[in-house]
């Protein structure tokens, strides 16, 4: 390789290093980073605010939101669950305990349907496996327990939660029906 080429490449590399150092020096002493940050602040100062004043305001909840568990009924008040135990079998956290027996009319119904919410990971697999759309995850995310044992939701409690959210559950399913 010609010594002139080697010399030219060397000069270019030295010039690049020098200009980078120079640029950093100017950037530091001219406070360019602070001004670029202030420009971002100024840009958003006059835009519509996106901060939500929680808890007075809440963001919209997806129809697929996986919140508190519930059991649904049909419109005539009959519980949907047919005690097939698919949800109990599919639950990866073993959170569901079901006992069942046949009723006088020959239909099969649960006598015990407990969900341990401490074990539940809100995965939604029970909801997906249910053939009659009985067990569901509601949009409710604000709940807490204050005493030992309240983490076990019984059948009656689950049905009560389902009754409370039925309108919302029905409209969420209608909205999402093309993807179910
Ligand atoms: S949401 Fe998942 S973890 Fe919770 S009860 Fe259903 S299947 Fe089990
Ligand atoms: S909730 Fe659904 S999947 Fe679970 S036992 Fe009842 S009918 Fe079967």
Which residue positions in the chain have pLDDT lower than 50? none
129 lines ligand 2 (CB under 6 A): yes
Output the pLDDT for position 52: 87
153 lines ligand 2 (CB under 6 A): no
DSSP 49: P
69 lines ligand 2 (CB under 6 A): no
Paired strand residues for 100: 110
CB atoms within 10 A of CB 69: 25
Ligand nearest to the CA of 87: 2
User: Quick check: helix, strand or coil at residue 163?
Assistant: helix
Output the pLDDT for position 1: 64
| Ligand 1 center to 170 CA (angstroms) | 20
């Amino acid at each position: 390789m010609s010594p002139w080429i080697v010399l030219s490449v060397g000069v270019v590399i030295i010039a690049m290093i020098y200009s980078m150092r120079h640029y950093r020096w100017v950037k530091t002493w001219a406070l360019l980073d602070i001004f670029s940050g202030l420009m971002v602040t100024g840009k958003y100062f006059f835009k519509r605010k996106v901060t939500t004043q929680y808890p007075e305001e809440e963001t919209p909840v997806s129809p697929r939101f996986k919140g508190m568990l519930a059991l649904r009924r049909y419109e005539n008040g009959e519980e949907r669950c047919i005690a097939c135990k698919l949800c109990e079998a599919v639950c990866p956290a073993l959170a569901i305990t079901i006992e069942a027996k046949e009723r006088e009319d020959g239909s099969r119904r649960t006598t015990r349907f407990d969900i341990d919410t401490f074990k539940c990971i809100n995965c939604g697999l029970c909801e997906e496996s249910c053939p009659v759309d009985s067990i569901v995850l509601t949009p409710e995310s604000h709940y807490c327990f204050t005493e030992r044992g309240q983490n076990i939701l019984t059948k009656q409690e689950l049905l009560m939660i389902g009754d409370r959210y039925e309108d919302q559950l029905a409209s969420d399913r209608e909205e999402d029906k093309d993807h179910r």
